[in-house]
Structure 1
Amino acid sequence: MSDQQSHSQGEAKPERGKVEGVGRDKIKGVFSTQTVEKVGTGTTQRKAIQKTYWFCEEGKEDLIQVQPLNKNYVPSGPSRAVAKEEFLGKFNPEPEFYVQTVYPKMRELENTIKRGEDHREAGRVYSAELEFKEATTVDEENVRANFGLGLTYLDRGDAVKANDIFERLVNLEAAFDQEHKHLFNDFGINLRKNKMLEQALEYYHRAERLEGHDENLFHNIARVYYELGDLEHCVEYLKRSLQLNPGMEEGKLFMEYLKKNGYVTVLPDGTEKIDPNPDGIVGSGKGKGDGKPIDVDGGAKF
């Protein structure tokens, strides 16, 4: 966040922790940067110092991840990497501000999200909704809070509100980070199960552009295409999934189902024939087996 008021915090060191295998402290805490801006015109013009606060944490290869604080004093929005040498020259530690204000706010937000997740897991969807809404009020772009709120709406079958959350999440790159993959997977599967198939497909393809190669992601894209009746793309993505992981049990079951019910036929020359309507009944959406769609989702990665 930015303001015109400076904080006199002394020269205490920011929170630090040991860098594994190196034996030195790593950077973590709240820091500030300052810019000088001209205010007014003519004889009334003066210079004002604009201070911006950041939550900063040292990562790998001497890069510092910096994320701005929002008006509620919690890290929010996209982070960026700053080279350590540049960071040390431009960023000033604000240890007291971190300890007295920012850290308690971060803990409070974390506890609110955790209560929401506990409520949702126990089936208390309205209590979960209240907690997640409170969390998104503090940090509108918080990934866990948005996922939690979206999943809660999907649990309730509220497609309209779930779609609002989908629109928000699909534009948040942080939603597709490694640390959020299990949440991402749950949300995509629940979109599909709530028959929000186009949204689920857009969601998964957004992940595909960022992730590139993941057998569980490809498997779940195949599931959506299957339910949309697009067997060619279904088989394409299922094969891509099994190429990455030939031993994936869910993928093998899915392919066996498609072959058993006549959607995929192996010809004498070894080629495969794809038939989206093996019974010859246009629009039936059923195979010539028991007619029950397979219900096997990909693993927790996606």
Structure 2
Amino acid sequence: MEDDYEVMGVYSHSLKYEYKLGERGSRYRHGTFWFVRKREEDVYEVRPLNANHVPTGVVKLVSGDEFVQLYTPELEYFQQNTLPCLETLQKKVRLGRRYFNLGRLDKAEQEFCDAVLMQDDSVDGNIGLSDVYAEQKEFTKLRAVLDKLLNIDEVFREEQRHRFNEFGINLRKKELFDDAVRFYSKALEVNEADENLHFNIARAFHGRGKCDLCRKHLNRALELNPEMVEARSFLRLLDTEAATAEKLLKKAEQGQRAALQDRGIRKRKAKLASKPIRFDI
């Protein structure tokens, strides 16, 4: 949760909410425990805790009046349960990333798996697992985690932009172009007016050989930001590639025609050579 929102702590609620948390939800008195962050002056973000005392990805925004009337601070619970668990979760993610950078993929996978067990929709834990599986070429596991990430709304929130952007770039660099396209397509559903997302998905489409779609997203990026030098350079590259491909195609066609003509000449010569020579006596 690396953003500028102010963490208020854990609060209990006096009424039962309509959320159905399942057996993993931790019940408390007449409701549940909620992890609270202040987004704006009069807007609070509340997220129910799971059985491991850490917040889930289910987010609800409440007004200041509603928050004051219905939510009660639970400082002791936060200090004794949620805070230590959050620190453990962050430690596992850091260790997983450290092991990954050292090339110790088995240890990295173990730490990221532990993080996901604590918080099923952990953005960092699931992205870490995806990086491990991509490196191990465990594509079935990778796509299972990717499917989960595509359904975690928090992945694509504004404050997570640098994370999901880096993740998509890593997929493309590993030549997992289809997966990168899926990821960036989901991000564009959340924020279509982001020129960088259009540029990045254009690169993924280029890797797939889909130059028409690549050009489409580059043009959209320039509509959003006419000063985007990278997009203009990429379009020039596409023009150069297209011109080169056309020249190669013409050369190949010329070669085929020449080969057919040469074959026809050889056939005619062979036919003439096979005719008997007649002499007048």
TM-score bracket for this pair, using the shorter chain length: 0.7 to 0.9
Separation in structure 1 between the aligned mates of residue 108 and residue 247 of structure 2, nearest angstrom: 45
**CA 27–143 in structure 1, closer or farther in 2 if over 3 Å, else same:** closer
The structure that has the greater radius of gyration is 2
User: Aligned pair in 2 of structure 1 residues 252, 125: CA closer, same or farther (>3 Å)?
Assistant: farther
Task: Kindly indicate whether residue 249 of structure 2 is the aligned counterpart of residue 280 of structure 1.
Answer: yes
Query: Please, which of 142, 164, 183 is the counterpart of residue 163 of structure 2?
Result: 183
Q: Paired residue for 1:196? A: 176
Q: Does 1:74 align with 2:74?
A: no
SS at match of 2:11: strand
Match of residue 112 from structure 2: 132
Give me the CA root mean square deviation. Answer: 2.7
Contact 1:241–1:251 (Cα < 8 Å) also in 2: yes
Distance of 2:227 and 2:102 partners within structure 1: 34
The residue type paired with residue 128 of structure 2 is: G
- The TM-score, its normalising length taken from structure 2, stands at 0.76
> What's the secondary structure of 2:230's corresponding residue?
helix
Query: Which residue pairs with 2:127 in the alignment?
Result: 147
Percent identical residues: 32
What is the CA-CA distance between 1:247 and the residue it aligns to? 4.1
Q: Is the 8 A contact 2:169 2:200 kept in 1?
A: yes
Q: Which amino acid aligns with 1:114?
A: R
Aligned to 1:252: 232
Give the letter aligned to residue 198 of structure 2: F
2:191 — aligned with what?
Answer: 211
Q: Does 1:159 align with 2:139?
A: yes
Secondary structure of the 2:30 match is strand
User: 4+ residue stretches of structure 1 with deviation over 4 A?
Assistant: none
Per the alignment, in what secondary structure is the counterpart of residue 73 of structure 1? coil
The answer to whether the Cα contact below 8 Å between 2:211 and 2:238 also exists between their aligned partners in 1 is no
Q: Report the Cα offset of residue 117 of structure 1.
A: 1.6
Q: Match of 2:230, as an amino acid?
A: E
Q: 1:255 to 1:262 in 2, by over 3 A?
A: same
> 2:183 is matched by which residue type in structure 1?
Y
Does the CA contact (< 8 Å) of 1:200 and 1:224 recur in 2? Answer: yes
Equivalent in the alignment of 2:212: 232
Contact 1:74–1:105 (Cα < 8 Å) also in 2: yes
1:183 maps to a residue whose letter is: R
* 1:122 corresponds to: 102
Residue 123 of structure 1: how far off its partner (Å): 2.6
Q: Distance in 1 between matches of 2:186 and 2:55?
A: 24
CA distance in 1, matches of 2:198, 2:144: 25
> How far has the Cα of 1:211 moved from its partner?
1.1
Code of the residue aligned with 1:199 in structure 2: it is: D
**Which structure has more helix as a fraction of its residues?**
2
Unaligned runs of 5+ in 1: 1-18, 21-25, 37-47, 265-274, 282-302
Q: 1:85 aligns to what?
A: 65
Q: Give the Cα separation in 1 of the matches to 2:52 and 2:103.
A: 30
- CA apart distance, 1:49: 5.1
Distance 2:247 2:97 in 1: 44
Offset at residue 130 of structure 1 (A): 1.1
Change (3 A) 1:222 1:179: same
Give the TM-score taking structure 1 as reference length. Answer: 0.71
Structure having greater relative contact order (Cα 8 Å, sep ≥ 6)? 1
CA contact (8 A) 1:35 1:49 kept: no
**1-structure distance, mates of 2:39, 2:207:** 42
- Aligned AA for 1:196? L
1:141 match: secondary structure? coil
Shift in Å, 1:27:
7.0
> How far did residue 28 of structure 1 move?
0.5
